[in-house]
Amino acid sequence: MYTFIDKKLLLSGLIVFGLFHGLIAQDFRAHAPEPGPAKPIEIASPDQFALDNGMKVILVENHKIPVVNFQLFINRDPLVEGEFAGFSTMAGDLLATGTTSRTKAEIDAAIDFIGASMTTSSTGAFGSTLTKHADAFLDVYSDVILNPVFPEEEFEKLKTQTLSGLAAAKAEPESIANNVVSKVNYGPEHPYGEVQTEETTKAITLQKCKDYYQDYFKPNLAFLVIVGDANHDQAMAWAEKYFGTWKPGPVPRTVVSPVPLPEETAVRFADKSGAVQSVIQVTQPVDLKPGDKDVIAVRLMNNILGYGGFSGRLFQDLREDKGYTYGAYSSLNSDPYVALFNAETSVRNEVTDSSVEAILYEINKIREEPVSDKELQLTKNITSGQFARAMERPQTIATFALNIARYGLPEDYYQTYLQRMEAVTVADIQRVARKYLQPDHLNIVVVGNKDEVVDKLKAFGPLYYYDNNGDPVQINATDISDVTPESVIKGYLQAIGGESKVGQIKNVKAEMVAKTPMGEISMEVMHKDNMKSVMKISAQGMVVQEQRFDGEKAMISQMGNKELIDDPAMVNRFKENAAYFEDLKFLQDGYHIEIKGVENVDGIPAYRLVVTSPAGSISTYFYALESKLKIRQVQSADGNTTNIDYKDYEDHDGILVPKIMSISGSTPVPMSFELSSIEFNPELEDAWFSVDN
């Protein structure tokens, strides 16, 4: 049946409805409803029991899906690993590489066959499986935990991978900053202050990993946390069947000393030559234990200051208001030994000092000015939401139960968490800010380009320098008043064979090989008349990348895709790098060289020279004071920084050349190439350099 409706009446009705609805909405926005009182959270009490061998079992039932998770946690003290720093991590990674009855391949195949997952660490193992496969999974899982054999071959492979990762980290400002933060806050003798380096990794032996396992993997230190589709009888049966025969024993204990605050606020600087950004971490140790009455107020205070989202003051100040960075955040969590406050960001060189000033301003502001009721309530709402979302994961409930057991928290600690959070007042926020944030005792850690940022940082306190591993170094402690850039270059040329002899070398052909976790990579380089160059990188017999320069034109080919380079700036770079012994060019007209002092490169004092080419490209070179040899080159282009380290010089026809050339920073995986052959002044065909072939 069709009913006629007047369009004017319909339109009028819609307008009235819209106005009425708008008034309601405006009233709602202007007068938000008052939040109701927080209610206790309904959390199922975990089922807890212990085996005769001392292993504690925590079961959190969740029968929504037929999946069960297992976490075995070794509740050991922090370790001081000293000259072998990193051995506990390596031991944990090796657990699943072989047992007395299974190879690594058999372990992986068994886990994959049932669609399960498993990871191991220095403090245990985590795994997940369908409930129907629980016994098959636990047969492998318990075997890995109770019967590892630590195969030599897997140890050597892991060591190579670890060294590769550490080499990459040496070029990463964030990793360098973390190393400095660890050492200046805790000290190198504290378990939290240790930094794993290439040297400590090389010192680690397979026996150290085995000894770690024997010392700490004991049931009397262990918690087995079971979360998911299981009941008490199943959990008891699994624990007894797969871990009941595990033998308890004595375990070493570590006495962890308290960590004092820094005596004064100071700048801790690590140089990253050529960097266009600075990494900033303003930090200090904090005495805040799990379960402390201030933990919740501190969490809210830190969320106001630097919550990991848009609402934090640091984010609003440094990003939204000033546009210095993409993000600025802070963290402060409790710890049974020593906690850490850290406010961090990454900014352009030119605003490094302004960013430090802004961070210090916000720290002082939250101490000296009460936050508003509105800001506190907003933060409570956000934090409550975080807590509620976390509660949706059964693993969160298991973590709560583990924390209660480990730290002796009240049984209802998490059930009443939101009630206690709602009771936090504005005065509490200011009280804990004043108690735990100490503006006169901060470590201002900055990693960046010394030439561009360091002078402006001196206003914030005494300035100390650190290397990539976080160890203190002396900068410009050596008198260089009688040293010139030219004398450094000439000293290097004399050390490798003499300027005259080196100058006679026009053609060079060299081959190098790098061993990586993915297999061998070879590099072939050719230079002709100090004007033409070729570089080929091959893997598994295939050329994966090639660069050619014929003296005028350049070409780059990747996996067979050829691209002619017509950018004048890039062509000029090829032209400047066409000579094998590029240092000879530095003495020619058009090059500008500055000596920037003496710095340590992996413990070796070296002159630091900044070289600007006629085309305007800038590179930094380090020449050892004692040997005069070039030991590092730092290149910066398009915001990326590449480190090239030269080691183990050896004689070839009266000329010293580095046997080892390590590249990190711009490559996905750092590579260390070893020289396999080199020829001086061989016959080289022009066709090999042609970009048209």
Q: Phi/psi zone of residue 643: left (φ > 0), alpha (ψ -120 to 50 degrees), beta?
A: beta
Helix axes 206-216, 87-94, angle to 10 degrees: 80
H helix intervals, 437-484: 450-457
406: enclosing H helix or E strand: helix 394-407
Each residue's pLDDT tens digit, 167-179: 888 888 999 999 9
Each residue's pLDDT tens digit, 466-496: 999 999 988 766 788 899 999 999 999 999 9
| Distance between CA atoms of residues 243 and 51, nearest Å | 9
Of the candidate ranges 37-51, 76-90, 389-403, 404-418, the one whose mean pLDDT is the lowest: 37-51
Structural domains of the chain in order of their starting residue, each with its CATH number: 47-243 (3.30.830.10), 266-473 (3.30.830.10), 485-689 (2.50.20.10)
Q: Where are the beta strands (DSSP E) in 123-272?
A: 124-130, 222-228, 266-271
Per the model's pLDDT, the better-predicted residue between 46 and 199 turns out to be 199
What are the angstrom distances between the C-alpha of 465 and each of 114, 265, 468, 472?
Answer: 53, 14, 10, 6
Each residue's pLDDT tens digit, 39-71: 566 776 789 999 999 999 999 998 999 999 999
Mean pLDDT along residues 123-128:
95
pLDDT at 40: 63
448 contacts 173 by C-beta, under 8 angstroms = yes
Number of residues in the chain: 693
How high does pLDDT run on average in the chain? Answer: 90
Mean pLDDT along residues 296-311:
91
Per the model's pLDDT, the better-predicted residue between 496 and 392 turns out to be 496
For the chain, the 3-state helix, strand and coil shares in percent, each to the nearest 5, are 40, 30, 35
